[in-house]
Structure 1
């Protein structure tokens, strides 16, 4: 029996952004699931024993828990984090990267840079 295909979680309160990212991921053979909030994602994570995303793509600015808070709560999980944001604040970028984020991409981002970050997170490069 083959190894299960890795999947990525997209956490963004903008449904059109989530759909676009999932479409990009499918184009490189990566499955994705999306959540509209950090709270919804964090609630789902421990509730399903076999639920192990290979990477999480977080928006920085969301109602409720922002992306940095979700990243903080994931600390120690070993789950790679890639940030996407429309608000490129150098202080937030530094905070995200110093906390271990693999990438911090400003929307709209270059698809090839996004693909490289995802492939790196999934160990495909």
Structure 2
């Protein structure tokens, strides 16, 4: 695992999305760890109590525990969460933002916007 305090957790059931976000973040010096489901990520949090990413990028629609439920479970931890989705439903957006999401991006999203959202979420000065 990477330096846990400086890593971003990317949770999406689409492996190509995980790979591309990880590559995009790495291009600006941000390390990421990927998870293929909300359940896998929650299991990791339970199994490794010291694991706390600096930010979570979370897909809304996934098999098993969906992104909104993962967000709800993470709320007590105060982790910044960036929600991503291919299905932009108003109720999901309102729930995510109302529950404190740092950003809500619709796929396909602009890489520059995602990078800026992550930089703001982790307290890093955005690159020009």
After TM superposition, the score normalised by the length of structure 1 is 0.93
The unaligned stretches of length 5 or more in structure 1 are: none
The 3 A distance-change label for structure 1 pair 5 and 73 is closer
Measure the CA separation in 1 of the matches of 2:86 and 2:4.
Answer: 33
SS of 1:120's equivalent? helix
Q: Where does structure 1 differ by over 3 angstroms across 4 or more consecutive aligned residues?
A: none
Name the residue aligned to 1:102. Answer: 102
1:1-125 equivalence runs, <5 A: 6-125=6-125
* Number of residue equivalences: 123
How far did 1:112 drift? 1.5
SS of 2:43's equivalent? helix
The 3 A distance-change label for structure 1 pair 75 and 111 is same
Post-superposition Cα deviations, 1:30-52, rounded to whole Å, max 9, x if no partner, equal 11111111011001013213312
Measure the CA separation in 1 of the matches of 2:101 and 2:5.
Answer: 23
How far did 1:86 drift? 0.5
SS of 2:94's equivalent? helix
Measure the CA separation in 2 of the matches of 1:115 and 1:72.
Answer: 24
Post-superposition Cα deviations, 1:52-89, rounded to whole Å, max 9, x if no partner, equal 21011000100011100000011110111001110011
Measure the CA separation in 2 of the matches of 1:51 and 1:4.
Answer: 6
What is the root-mean-square deviation of aligned Cα atoms in Å? 1.4
The 3 A distance-change label for structure 1 pair 116 and 42 is same
After TM superposition, the score normalised by the length of structure 2 is 0.91
Question: Does the 8 Å CA contact 1:5/1:31 hold for their aligned counterparts?
Answer: no
